[in-house]
Amino acid sequence: MAVRGLRWWIVGLVFLATFINFLDRLTISILGPVLTKDLGLTNQQFGSLTIWFLAAYTLSQGLSGLFYDRVGTRRGFTWSVTIWSIAASAHAFARSLSSLSALRFVLGVGEAGNWPGAAKVIAAWFPPRERAFAMGIFNSGVAIGNIVAAPLIVYLQIRFGWRAAFLVTGSLGFIWLAGWLLFYESPERHRSITPEEFALITEGRVTQTSAPMRWRALLRYRQTWAIVLARFITDPVWWLYITWLPKYLSDARGFSLKEIGMFAWLPYVTADAGSLGGGWLSGRLMARGWTTDRARKTVVVAGAVLMLAGIPAAMASTAGAALACIACVTMGFQVWINNVQTLPSDIFEERAVASVAGLGGVGAGLGAMLFTYATGYVVDRTHSYTPMLVTAGLLPILGTAILFKVGGKIRRIP
């Protein structure tokens, strides 16, 4: 049976995968105050758990991009979600820093595939003018996951204990897999796509060779390096807040675990608005006749400027003012990343999209690893988050400048 607007149902599935991805990822961050006390971890040891996750995540982003370009998104997502759901559930049985570190590593291997896979799905299912908004829908799963995570996980911990919280969130991926295998196919093979929608998706698309491009070939393009370097510098801003916000609210602002559950989700409401709004705005500008280059760059600059709010967050005299500033940062990052993640499909042909997105993820992971470890080190020795918040406020300006300078004009590579 034909389904009108099938592409929006497809991106809805990817949104749900991203939502579950972040629930599984954030469970340990929300439970940070409990786990550090229960297992006797220092701030630096707690930060090392993210390092193990990011080490696997960084490596796997690049490999997952190649994997998705070779086996396709249907099989790629199946493998990714299976691996991360098993790892997320197994956190319930951890007994020490070493076992938690090993499980974070496996979780990173699986979760990394979500982003190159989503970029490839959107490149296949959407025309260029709709891609940023579609990217915003899938990326809003990040923000919604953050919004739901704090109250849900705190409730599960208080009611059933932290081990049960890992079991509940880890099981959701298996439920999603059933819907994915039942419903997803490529546009060329999907039996429910209408001729009109297929024509819209493929309008102006040239016939491409099926063989994926190798990293060696992709790294010859300055546009690839622009994406990698920009994400290396800017993505640590997001990782600072998703990793350390509960600990920051507890250590620097005196929040109890219950108060963290009540308030830690607020910056992610604005992040969701930034994700959807940033994607909608660049698409709207393109519909009004702006070039892809002008539209994307305008919105990227707006996101970078919003992230400057991290500086006054460090200086705020009240917790409410600090949260308001952090909310501006998270909104700005989602505006920024939503358009930057669209660049591989703007610049490269479809067979290279997942690979370039994966390489961008490698850059993001390396930067996040360094910044996350540095945060734990600085906080343990200075007992202050201020140096890292101020630094994070400045990084997006540098990352955006490098993106524009190295990448040049945003246009399709012949």
Q: Which residues contact 242 (CB under 8 A, 6 or more apart)?
A: 22, 25, 26, 29, 146
Q: Is 325 domain-assigned?
A: yes
Buried b (16+ CB within 10 A) or exposed e, 391-414: bbbebbbebbebbbebbeebeeee
Task: Give the burial class of 178: count Cβ atoms within 10 A of its Cβ; 0-12 exposed, 13-18 middle, 19 or more buried.
Answer: exposed
Query: In which residue ranges of the chain is pLDDT below 70?
Result: 204-212
**How many CA atoms, within 13 angstroms, populate the side-chain half-sphere of residue 366?**
13
Give me 38's structure tokens: 């229960």
pLDDT at 210: 57
pLDDT at 212: 65
Give the residue from 361, 363, 412 showing the smallest Cα distance to 114: 361
- Count: domains in the chain: 1
Give me 142's structure tokens: 């990040």
pLDDT at 177: 94
d(CA 317, CA 314): 9
pLDDT at 352: 80
Residue 150 domain boundaries: 6-204+213-407
pLDDT at 209: 53
Domain CATH number, residue 149: 1.20.1250.20
Q: Which residues contact 395 (CB under 8 A, 6 or more apart)?
A: 233, 234, 236, 237, 307
Q: Is 412 domain-assigned?
A: no
pLDDT at 68: 85
pLDDT at 47: 72
pLDDT at 295: 92
pLDDT at 256: 76
pTM of the model: 0.74
